[in-house]
């Protein structure tokens, strides 16, 4: 937009100062908006295509300014419209940020902009653990201890009675049915933006003066950085952001793949640490020791000790449907399942979508500032702004944030 206006000394100085930050660019745009209107009348509007996040709706409009996380456009008829950046596709968001800095729209990258996944991990899901019919307490806990030593966390699932496994699976499917796929898609896009920013701004993160990294720890962080990012990526996998998959897949398989991936990524991260680093022990905890203190045919008292952790009182277990369960868990099970089912049935998918959208919108503003940074000073300034915003929000005591972008969509027929 700078190029479309007569050059004046103030604008020239802004351009020659380099691409500083979103705040400086905003001031530049405000100044340009104050240029006498006759200049605008002397030129034809420069219309550009802008596409919504679904990729199905497009409008032709002139870039006016990027006000925080709200894009202001002017249509051919002179009417201004405002669009939250979160409602735009990746290409349009990149274009908006580039034009806000006074440059030309950036070329669209090949592929999906927010796709920043690492290579898929091959995970072997342990076979279902077989328990004897109505085992004694000693037999039951010996099997669990053996599986824990094999790092098989799925034994916790296999140790549940079949009817309770089904109740949990039904709850997960019900929860998935209350979340629209477009809501998951919002989270996917934000997840992709976070991962991409962490990867592409690695040098800025490691060299930021705003992030206190002790000098003796920096080499360790440099070696571990990629592994840390992959762990962040694995904690919210795209496979769990798919309504159909959550409703149709076996829960044991989903959980097994999830835990297996975390385990592989975790071991890769630990391998970057020195052999004597204390985090190695923390990342590879010893399995709990389970000792049957006393038992009868249907009740048992079990001592559960986690190495390195404070001792806990013995736990009472009872035999239920051929499995030993904590007595307190079994006593509260039906009530908890009923309450969870009732709460999920009453949940409004549209309200969930709106709430998630508002959260993602606010977070996207910060990620956008980091991803748009082209210099170390830009990046550090974005961190400073984030810290200031956090302090301000902390003092608002629940009040609404001023200047929030409008909730409604400006695309024709947009319901998001």
Same domain, 243 and 277: yes
Same domain, 137 and 271: yes
- Amino acid 13: pLDDT: 41
Output the pTM of the full model. 0.66
Same domain, 63 and 135: no
Name the domain boundary from 268, 286, 304: 286
Same domain, 79 and 126: no
Q: Alpha-carbon torsion 87, 93, 95, 98, what sign?
A: positive
Same domain, 163 and 238: yes
- Amino acid 208: pLDDT: 92
The SS3 assignment for 84 reads strand
Same domain, 266 and 227: yes
Is 172 inside a domain boundary?
yes
CA dist 10 and 12 (Å) reads 5
Residue with structure tokens 């990526």? 233
Same domain, 67 and 193: no
CATH code for the domain of 94: 2.30.30.700
Is 69 inside a domain boundary?
yes
Is 136 inside a domain boundary?
yes
Same domain, 48 and 126: no
Name the domain boundary from 224, 253, 286: 286
Is 346 inside a domain boundary?
no
What is the signed CA dihedral for 52, 55, 58, 61, rounded to 10 degrees?
50
Same domain, 183 and 269: yes
Q: Phi/psi of residue 67, each to 5°? A: -100, 90
- Amino acid 3: pLDDT: 37
Q: Alpha-carbon torsion 35, 94, 226, 150, what sign?
A: positive
Q: Which two tokens stand for residue 408?
A: 């409604």
Same domain, 141 and 221: yes
Note the Cα 155 to chain centre separation in Å.
28
Is 114 inside a domain boundary?
no
- Amino acid 295: pLDDT: 87
- Amino acid 410: pLDDT: 61
- Ramachandran area for residue 78 (φ above 0: left; ψ -120 to 50: alpha; else beta): left
Is 130 inside a domain boundary?
yes
pLDDT tens sequence for the chain (416 residues): 333 334 444 334 433 344 333 333 332 333 333 333 333 344 445 788 888 877 788 888 998 988 877 889 998 888 999 988 778 887 787 788 778 877 555 444 333 333 444 566 788 899 999 999 989 999 999 999 999 999 999 999 999 999 999 999 999 999 999 999 999 999 999 999 999 999 999 999 999 999 888 888 888 899 899 999 999 999 999 889 999 999 998 999 999 999 999 988 988 888 888 888 777 777 777 888 899 998 888 999 999 998 888 888 999 999 999 999 999 999 999 999 999 999 999 999 999 999 999 888 878 877 878 887 888 988 898 888 888 776 766 665 455 444 444 444 566 555 44
Name the domain boundary from 100, 129, 158: 100
Query: In the 3-class helix/strand/coil scheme, how is 321-383 assigned residue by residue?
Result: CCEEEEHHHHHHHHHHHHHHHHHHHHCCHHHHHHHHHHHHHHHHHHHHHHHHCCCHHHHHHHH
Identify the domain containing residue 69 by its residue range: 2-100
Same domain, 130 and 216: yes
Same domain, 64 and 198: no
Is 30 inside a domain boundary?
yes
């Amino acid at each position: 937009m700078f190029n479309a206006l007569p050059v004046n000394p103030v604008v020239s100085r802004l351009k020659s100062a380099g691409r500083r930050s979103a705040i400086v660019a905003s001031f530049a745009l405000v100044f340009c908006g104050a240029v006498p209107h006759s200049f605008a009348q002397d030129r034809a509007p420069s219309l550009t295509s802008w596409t919504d996040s679904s990729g199905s709706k497009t409008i032709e409009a002139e870039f006016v300014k990027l006000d925080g996380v709200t894009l202001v456009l002017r249509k051919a008829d002179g009417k201004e419209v405002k669009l939250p950046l979160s409602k735009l596709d990746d290409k349009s968001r990149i274009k908006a940020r580039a034009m806000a800095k006074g440059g030309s729209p950036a070329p669209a990258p090949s592929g999906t902009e927010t796709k920043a996944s690492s290579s898929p991990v091959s995970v072997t899901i342990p076979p279902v653990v077989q328990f004897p019919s109505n085992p004694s307490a000693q037999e039951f806990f010996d099997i669990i201890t053996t599986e824990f030593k094999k790092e098989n966390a799925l034994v916790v699932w296999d140790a549940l009675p079949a009817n309770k496994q089904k109740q949990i699976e039904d709850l997960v499917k019900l929860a998935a049915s209350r979340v629209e796929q477009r809501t998951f898609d919002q989270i996917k896009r934000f997840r992709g933006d976070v991962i991409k920013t962490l990867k592409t701004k690695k040098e800025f993160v490691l060299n930021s003066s705003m992030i206190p990294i002790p000098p003796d720890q920096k080499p360790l962080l440099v070696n571990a950085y990629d592994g840390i990012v992959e762990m962040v990526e694995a904690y919210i996998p795209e496979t769990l952001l798919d309504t159909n998959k959550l409703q149709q897949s076996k829960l044991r398989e989903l959980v097994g793949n999830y835990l297996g991936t975390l385990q592989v990524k975790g071991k890769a991260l630990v391998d970057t640490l020195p052999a004597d680093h204390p985090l190695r022990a923390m990342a590879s905890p010893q399995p709990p020791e389970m000792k049957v203190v006393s038992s009868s045919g249907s009740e048992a008292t079990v001592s559960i000790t986690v190495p390195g952790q404070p001792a806990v009182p013995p736990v009472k277990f009872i035999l239920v449907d051929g499995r030993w369960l904590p007595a307190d868990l079994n006593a509260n099970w039906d009530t908890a399942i009923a309450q969870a089912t009732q709460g999920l049935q009453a949940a409004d998918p549209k309200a969930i979508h709106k709430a998630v959208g508002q959260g993602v919108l606010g977070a996207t503003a910060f990620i956008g500032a980091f991803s748009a940074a082209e210099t170390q000073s830009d990046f550090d300034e974005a961190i400073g702004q984030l810290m200031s915003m956090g302090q301000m929000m902390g003092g608002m005591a629940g009040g609404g944030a001023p200047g929030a972008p409008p909730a409604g969509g400006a695309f024709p027929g947009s319901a998001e």
